[in-house]
Amino acid sequence: MSLPKAFQLLRFTTYVAPRRLISATACTYGIKSRWQMPYRVTLKNRMKEMEKKGLLPTNARSDFIEWNYDSEIYAFGKRLHEEFDESLLRQALIDPSYITRETLRQQELGVEVPALQMSGNSELSTEGKDIIFDYATKFVRATHRVLPEEGVSALVDYLTSEELLSEIGHGIGLKDLILTEEYPPSQVTVVNAFQSVVAVLNRSSGLSRCHIFVKDFVLTQLVGKNIYDIWKIEDPVSILSNILLQNGREAFEPRLVFQSGKNTIQAVYQVAVYCEKQFMGTGMKWYGETVNAAVEQAAWDALSRLFQTTEAVSPIPFEKPEQLNLNDNKNMPIDNWSIDRASNIVMC
């Protein structure tokens, strides 16, 4: 070329000067090439899948060197703002399977009569289960006084179900504290330990304190849930007509309020249910694709209005449990549900 050699070199140096070595930048500021992140995401997803299939080795938290069971037990009570009897709490966290395993292990090591001064939580677990069931039933009855007994038992079954109680047990940190054969502990083990913790609280701090505990951790799970997702009403039309018949009213009269897109694939109907010319309910948010489906929706809405469980009712009073009238009286069963009696009950 016609340019002198020195000038070419100068051009080269001016071009390089403002740039830095990319490797140096990457070391200093952690800049990765663009395949790095997808690669890591893939690895992470693969690990998650292996974890799901149980291919990854899972170490119990207590296997690690930084583990102090005494401190963990102390912090457990403090975290929940409760005073537990320590020896009882330790017993509550021992699953019977742990004792069996320890006995076998000591026998394998040559100890003929293993000196194990521990008893499992089976007894405490049954005690706690009864407390939770009893208080949940009374609380749900007191907060839903017009709801039929079938609905109450469905809600209580949900609250005392294995899935929910084990979720709560994990949520208060029982997973690492339970002494059991397997790790991670199974659902049943966590549920037993949670119920035992409730029983221990009853023995340490008294029943009223225990009820507050159950209310705060178990019953608050009802918040934000739709009752009819938990209690499935199979045939609302026949239930509504049965209730009206039992109460000596006329049969309900479904009226077509609005319709749109008749004889098309997008047909939609809104039906309102009337009884003795009084409005009972209508499909407010859910309409029907056919007239029959719309009648079902309207009957369902009428039932939820009768049982005072619409979305507009006031929330469950968790902060004032002492104002609730807790007693053993059952709610009205659905086959014998009285409209007049329900109208006399005032919820506040």
Among positions 72-111, residues that touch another protein (CB under 8 A) are 72, 74-75, 78-81
Query: CB of 227 within 8 A of CB of 150?
Result: no
Strand, coil or helix: 94: strand
Looking at beta carbons only, is 10 or 75 nearer to another protein?
75
Name the burial class of residue 281, with classes exposed (0-12), middle (13-18) and buried (19+) by CB atoms within 10 angstroms of its CB: buried
Looking at beta carbons only, is 110 or 224 nearer to another protein?
224
> What's the CA gap between 38 and 233, in Å, rounded?
47
Among positions 218-237, residues that touch another protein (CB under 8 A) are 219-221, 223-224
Looking at beta carbons only, is 244 or 303 nearer to another protein?
303
> According to the binding rule CB under 8 A, does residue 52 interact with another protein?
no
Q: Which of 25, 58, 119, 238 binds another protein (CB under 8 A)?
A: 25
**C-alpha distances out from residue 5 to 2, 11, 13, 16, 343, Å:** 9, 10, 13, 17, 103
Query: CB of 342 within 8 A of CB of 152?
Result: no
Q: Which of 17, 55, 65, 348 binds another protein (CB under 8 A)?
A: 65
Residue 61 tokens read as 């938290």
> According to the binding rule CB under 8 A, does residue 329 interact with another protein?
no
Looking at beta carbons only, is 119 or 310 nearer to another protein?
310
Looking at beta carbons only, is 90 or 334 nearer to another protein?
90
Query: CB of 290 within 8 A of CB of 271?
Result: no
Residue 65 tokens read as 């060197």
> According to the binding rule CB under 8 A, does residue 312 interact with another protein?
yes
Q: Which of 16, 50, 56, 284 binds another protein (CB under 8 A)?
A: 284
> According to the binding rule CB under 8 A, does residue 256 interact with another protein?
yes
Provide, rounded to whole angstroms, the least separation between the CB of residue 79 and another protein. 3
- Residue (of 143, 137, 167, 146) closest to 331 by Cα position: 146
Provide, rounded to whole angstroms, the least separation between the CB of residue 173 and another protein. 5
Element (H, E) at 255: strand 253-260
Looking at beta carbons only, is 261 or 333 nearer to another protein?
261
Per DSSP, what are the bridge partners of residue 274? 253, 279
Query: CB of 211 within 8 A of CB of 107?
Result: no
> According to the binding rule CB under 8 A, does residue 161 interact with another protein?
no
Q: Of the ranges 199-207, 232-240, 311-319, 324-332, which one interacts with another protein (CB under 8 A)?
A: 311-319
Q: Of the ranges 150-158, 168-176, 273-281, 323-331, which one interacts with another protein (CB under 8 A)?
A: 168-176
Query: CB of 160 within 8 A of CB of 75?
Result: no
Q: Which of 257, 293, 324, 332 binds another protein (CB under 8 A)?
A: 257
Radius of gyration, alpha carbons of the chain = 32
What's the DSSP call for residue 289?
A: S
For another protein, the binding residues (CB under 8 A) are: 20, 22, 25, 28-29, 31, 34, 37, 41, 61, 65-68, 71-72, 74-75, 78-81, 167-168, 170-173, 175, 215-217, 219-221, 223-224, 256-260, 270, 284-285, 287, 311-312, 318
